Every structure is written in C-alpha cells, then in structure tokens.
Structure 1
Amino acid sequence: MHSVSAENTFGGVAREYIQHKMIGEQRAEVTVAKARWLLEQLSPLERLPIAEIRAVEVLAALRRIEAKGKHETARRCRSFSSRVFRYAVATCRAENDPSAVLRGALITPRVTHHPALTDPKAVGELLRAIDDYPGSMITRIAMQIIPHVMCRPGELRLAEWCEFDFDAAIWTIPQGRMKMPRPHAVPLSKQVLGYLDELHALTGPGGFVFPAFHTFKRPMSENTINQAFRRMGYTSEEMTAHGWRTTASTLLNESGKWNPDAIERSLAHADSNAVRGTYNRGRYWAERVEMHQWWSDYLDQLRKGADILRPEFGRGSGPGHARDVAAIKR
C-alpha cells in the first residue's frame, strides 16, 4: 500500500481523476467545473486517506449535504465519489468503492420540471407581453430571441458576436458552454437575424451579445430574464427562461411535422452513442434549418393572436407528412 500523502487522500485522488480522466478526455468545461464543485461539497473526505475511508464516513458527508435540503446534490456527490473510488482502485490506491453500498440510502429527490407554457394561446399572450416589455432593450431582445433558438439560458447570455455567421445564418455555440462534448450549431431564422441586427447597433461588433447593465466586460446576469418575467406578472411556477425549451419541444412534437431526432438535435440533447450522435447531427441539418424557420413563423402567428387549430396528424413523421399545427382563419 502507498504511504499516506496528499496524492493518496480522497481530495488528491479526486483532483487527479478530474485532471487525467475528465480533462484528458476533453469533457466540456461546464462538466469539469461541476466536478470540482462536487468535490468542494465533499470537503469532510478531502484529507482522509482514500484506502481507509469507510462507507459510514461517506454517508456522514452525504447526510451533511442532505441536512441542508440539497437532496439532488447529495445524490450527485455519491455518484462522483463512486467514480473517484473506482479510479483509486484502478490505480492501486484503494481496494474497493465504499460508496457503492450506499445506493438507496439517500433521500430520493423530487423530480422538478422547469415551468413552461404549452398552450398556444398562452404562448401568444406571453410573446405580446415581451414585445411590450418596458425595461432594458437588451433584456427585451434577449427574451424575444430565446423562444426561437431553443437553447439553454446560459448558452444565450454568454453568447459572443464572434460566434455568429450571419451570411450562413448559423450560431455556433462552443463546446465549453455545452453539456455535450462538442460545439452546437443553431440555425438562425429570418426573425432571429432581424432581432440580432437590432441588437448589433447596441452591443456589437465584438464582445458579449448580451452584456451586463453596467459594464460590457461581463455578460448579462443569469437571473435577468426570469426577473423580467416576474416584472411582467409571470410567477416562477408559470414560466422561466429555461421553460421555452419545454414549450418548443412540446409544440414541435405535437405538430407531427418533424422527426423527433431533429427536434432532439436542436435541443442539444446529447446522444449516449457518440457515433450515432455525430451521424444524426449531420443527417438532420437540412430539416433543422427548415424546422427553425417554421417554428419562428409559427411563433409569429401566435404573437399576432391568430386562431389556433390543433394539428391533425398524418402517418409520417417528417416535413410534409402532417398538416400544419396552426391555421389562420381569414
């Protein structure tokens, strides 16, 4: 057995695991940052020799997290600690994974869903309210763009002008900001290009697309859009910035016009099979371009207050195999 040193403590092995395995395998920066944060939550274990840690000590550290009401964090910490212990076993610094016997010992966290609007009429009302938002113009444009691009709020607020190819109508989100280990390309509809053109005069040509209120050196706060919703009278139980992804997923799938895999690609849901994920990303690009323009046109219909008819589904799953999800009564 190795002598007890910093390299043989839980913290030392965990940092080595993050450096050699996660960074070495080019995991997304956000994933690496979360791993480091999880290690901080497990501070009671950091200085203990990893070969001598018992299940009861791991459980005590996890119970400390649970006592703060952070049940999901405790679950993630157990999973992270298990990966560290298995790495220690593989590198001959421990003989077993004491966290493995703790499966089922923690409080099961409640599954929470991001509040979202899925009724077309309610979506239209919100889009009109956004157009009339009396606050910052930058915030208003951010709220106007996010329903169209289907991205996570953090991916939007950290956007930089250099990521946009206006000639090709593509926004490329770099790998470090994605939950999957590769960049993500977003087709830009005519409507989104119009909003960006309006914004470019305010915050372009370089730096953050959506800067903070008092300095262009930092991005917009992560709470800005949700706070704007609260000012508009929408509670946190009714709508959040992240909820637009649920809105898009629900209404696009209900339309019956688009392949579900194309919708998943636009939502940047990682495919567990890396080869299949790369293949599908290319395979559905043309359909995604068409889908994003259709989605923006549909949002415009809702915003204008058109009478919305529920879709009549066809037998196919791709473009042209089902009737439009909305029709405007003339």
Structure 2
Amino acid sequence: MKLTDSIIKAAKPKNKRYNLPDGKGLVLWVQPDGQKVWRIRYDFNEKEKMLSLGFYPAVSLAAARREHTRFKELLAQGIDPSENRKEEKQQAAIAAANSFESVARLWWNHWKHDKTERHADYTIRRMEADIFPVIGHKPVNEITVAQFIAMVRKVESRGALDIAKRVLTTCGQVMRYAVAHGLAERNPAADIKPSDVLKPAKKTNHKRLSEKELPELLRKIDGYNGQPLTRLALQLMALTFVRTGELIGARWDEINLDKKEWRIPAERMKMRSPHIVPLSQQAITLLEEIHKLAADDVLLFPSERRDGKSMSNNTILYALYRLGYHGRMTGHGFRGVASTILHEQQFNHDHIELQLAHTQRDAVSAAYNHALYLEPRAHMMQQWADYLDKQRVGAEVIPFKAA
C-alpha cells in the first residue's frame, strides 16, 4: 500500500527501527528516537545498495518520490545514483570555491596590502552590498558581459552613478586576478567601459567660496561655538589646505614642531606618496593649542566617542553648515580657494601643485617628489598664513610677491 502523510504522521516509534515501504525500493525508516528517514534500496552491478534522501518532514513524501523517480532514471542510463551524488557534491564544492565571491575575497586579500584600512574596508563593503548579492554565487568562469551590465545598471538606477562605475572597475580587477590564477579563461568585464553602458555624469567642482567671501568665513570659523577641536580643525585646514581625510586622520608622530613640518605617510595620502606640509608660525600656534587639549595621545582629532577612530568627514562639513555655508563650501573647497589665490599671486605653479599633493601630469612634474622645493614651499605657506590673517581682520590686502 502506498504511503500517505496521514500514515506517516501516525507512525509511532518502537523499541526497534521499522520500515514503512512506499514501493519499488522507497522506504521510510522510523527510528526508536522518533526520527523518520527516507531510504532508497536499489541494485547496481548485481550489488544491493542503499541511499539516504533525508529526514521527514523536511523532505516531504512528494519530494522523496520525485527524487526516487530521478534515481530510477539514472539507473536506466547505467549510472549509479550513489556515485552520481558524490560527483554532484564535488562539482558543487568546486563551483563554490570558484564562485565570484570566493575569488573576489581572494583578490581583496591580495590587493589590500598597500591600501589604507579605510579604503580596503570600503571596497569589501561595496562588494558585499552591490556585487555579491547579484553575481557572488555564480562560477567565475561562467559570468557574462550581460550579467555585469545588468548589475551596474541596477546600481545606476538608484542614482549612484559613481558607485556603478567603481563596481564595474572592481569586477574587472577581480576577473583579471581570476585569469592570472587560472580560475577563469578570460575577463568579460574588459570588453566594456563604464562610458559604454552608463549615462555620462555632469562634471561638478567642489563647492567653494570666492576670494571676496573668504574674510567672513575666516571670522565665522574663529567664532564657532561648537566643539573646540572642530574649530581648530577648520582653522588648520584653512592654513594647510590638505584633504579632509588627511586632516582628520593626523597623528602626533607625524608632526615635528622643531622642523616646522607635518609629514603625512604614503598610506594616508590619496596619491600613495608621502607628503610634507611646511608649517607656518600660525599653524604651529594652532597645533600647540590642540596639544593643550590633550584629547588623545595618538590622534590630533579623535572621535568624540573615544573609540580609537578620528572625527568623521561630516564633522567638518556639518560645522560649515552650522556657519551658514550649506551648499556653498566644503572642506575640499579650501584647496580650491588656496590654489586660485596662490596662482593669482604668481607663486610657482609646480610648487602649488606639489603642496596640493596632486597627481603629476607631465614628465617635468613627474621628476619632482614630496621633499623637493621645501624652502620655497615653506615661504609660500608662511605667506599664505599671513595673507589669511590680513583677510581675517579686514585690513587692506596688498598682493604679496612669490619671490
């Protein structure tokens, strides 16, 4: 008699295991502990064999019958269901090991060594958010161009065009790693560029003020009534015009007040090259004031949570918002203001570019390095600090000479 769910549910455990047959080799074992296990008996090469299908009710009666039918079809083809199952498990294991996510994590561990912890963490979190849920499970050797395109367009559809471009770039790096290590035959992501599949983005400059608006901003910063460290961070940013991330991550062991230098290591710089910031007397005075607060013995600008991290980028941005500069000025804007004014005052272009730590664009600039032209750069930074002082007090500003 064929089994039914009612018969199975009514079957009670006994002192010894007993069987409930469903016919043609499919049976349900009822164990003394009450567990019910599906089994298939079959003959292969004149040997009797048995294969487990799992526990009831996790494997339903209908599911057990379907699997039984599939096994009978394998037998009809001369295939041992037990050996077939082993091969399927092996193939699944290989596919899992060569999945895009597995290979991507291998690539990330290889790639991250010369990157900042922050950049490396951002990259893996971006993959976990936008890449792995879509193609992470797919064998790396089977991913197509169309699948990459569909994925980045999905990111683009939520308005994250820049992230969509980075996602495609990251996928290309992972696939190159896969090809280099014999895990894939080719890199389909190399067949397309972001501009081929994504909408062009309008180029926008970082928001910044004009020279005429600078005096009011400087005075408002001096009168900032929020956290003292935030005010000092804004003042130091105006004097040094470093990037926001370079400022908030500043460490005391990078500062040498005797030499009047702030040496930022390569791993904290966007361009992965060490950078020297000559310190004006005004900057040194600020640093001494920061040190008196003794907020942290490692970081100049620690998080208020005292969790070993620095203050966030948003601390600078929101402070500017509080001062009335929402949509008008950002931390990065200090760099643009400094570059414009220093060029107008006819300081040497290469000295300005070196002090901004911009990527080098030509053979002449490429010959420079972070430690060259320190004397004229130090002179320029002192002149810049003096210029800001005059702007702050509203005195008539006489253009200074670069020489």
Normalised TM-score (structure 1) = 0.84
Q: Which residue of 1 aligns with 2:157?
A: 67
**2: CA distance, partners of 1:244 / 1:227:** 15
Q: Where does residue 351 of structure 2 map in the other structure?
A: 262
- Aligned-CA RMSD value: 2.7
Q: Secondary structure at the match of 2:137?
A: coil
Residue 121 of structure 2 is matched in structure 1 by: 33
Shift, 1:72, TM fit: 0.7
CA drift of 1:7 comes to 4.0
Q: Which residue pairs with 1:145 in the alignment?
A: 236
Residues 10 and 278 (structure 1), Cα distance of their counterparts in 2 relative to 1, 3 Å cut: farther
Q: Distance in 2 between matches of 1:164 and 1:310?
A: 30
CA distance in 2, matches of 1:187, 1:72: 34
On the 8 A contact 1:187/1:289 being kept in 2, the answer is yes
Does 2:398 correspond to 1:306? no
Aligned to 2:104: 14
Contact kept in structure 1, 2:276 and 2:370, CA below 8 Å: no
Give the letter for the 2:306 counterpart: T
Identify the residue that residue 108 of structure 1 maps to in structure 2: 200
Q: RCO greater where, 1 or 2, for CA within 8 Å and sep 6 or more?
A: 1
Cα pair 1:65 1:71 within 8 Å, conserved: yes
What corresponds to 2:258 in structure 1? 167
CA contact 1:212–1:219 (8 Å) conserved in 2: yes
> 2:75 maps to which residue?
none
Partner of 1:157: 248
Which residue does the alignment assign to 2:184? 94
Q: Which residue of 2 aligns with 1:125?
A: 216
State how far apart, in whole Å, the 2-side matches of 1:142 and 1:5 are.
51
Instruction: Specify whether residues 144 and 81 from structure 1 end up closer, same or farther in structure 2 by C-alpha distance, changes over 3 A only.
Output: same
Larger radius of gyration, structure 1 or 2?
2
Identity among equivalent positions (%) equals 37
Alignment of structure 1 residues 257-296 onto 2, 5 Å: 257-258=347-348, 260-271=349-360, 277=366, 279-296=368-385
What is the match of residue 288 of structure 2? Answer: 197
Preserved contact between residue 171 and residue 189 of structure 2 (Cα < 8 Å): yes
The Cα shift of 1:238 comes to: 0.6
Does the Cα contact within 8 Å between 2:295 and 2:302 map onto a contact in 1? no
Aligned-pair CA distance for 1:71: 0.6
Q: Deviations over 1:204-262 (max 9, x none)?
A: 67132123335374422321222121111112x2111121111111111222122x222
Q: Following TM superposition, by how much is the alpha carbon of 1:292 offset from its aligned partner in structure 2, in angstroms?
A: 1.1
Distance of 1:277 and 1:254 partners within structure 2: 24
Cα gap change, 1:307 to 1:6, in 2 (>3 Å):
farther
Letter in 2 for 1:66: E
Q: Which amino acid aligns with 1:63?
A: R
CA-CA distance at 1:274 after TM superposition: 11
The DSSP-based 3-state class of the residue aligned with 1:281 is: coil
Map Cα deviations across residues 124-181 of structure 1 (whole Å, 9 max, x no partner).
1110111111222211111111111111112211222222111111112233322122
For 1:8 and 1:135, the matched residues in 2 are separated by 52
Matched letter for residue 261 of structure 1? D
